[in-house]
Amino acid sequence: MKNLYGTISILKNFNENNEQVNESINYYKIKDDKYGLEIEMEHSNQIIEKIYAENITEDESKIEYILKDLLKYEVTPNSKDVIEDLVKQYV
């Protein structure tokens, strides 16, 4: 099961056609055997980058702490080291 935890808008600019372009990062809580997470970066409603970390913990509160910090610090999918460090901190 995949549930949206939070979304941040990271950029609102205009492209070469003078159209507004929205970029956002979506944070998801995943529940399979254990809790995990997914981070997607969207550009004009198309996913351009994604990272998925599955089966991190059985404790829902721990994944909530990780997602809260990821959202607070606006961590992007290409920040694999930051994500791994947060997981180590809370698990």
Is the pLDDT higher at 69 or at 43? 69
Q: Are 52 and 36 in contact (CB under 8 A)?
A: yes
48-80 pLDDT, tens digit each: 899 999 999 999 999 999 999 999 999 999 999
Q: How many beta carbons lie within 10 A of that of residue 33, not counting itself?
A: 8
Query: What predicted TM-score, i.e. pTM, was given to this entire model?
Result: 0.86
Number of domains present in the structure of the chain: 1
Q: What per-residue confidence (pLDDT) applies to 35?
A: 97
Nearest to 90 by CA among 66, 72, 70, 73: 66
Q: Does the pLDDT value for residue 21 go beyond 80?
A: no
Torsion of CA 60, 65, 71, 74, to 10 degrees: -130
**What percent of the chain has a predicted confidence (pLDDT) above 70?**
95
8: containing domain: 2-90
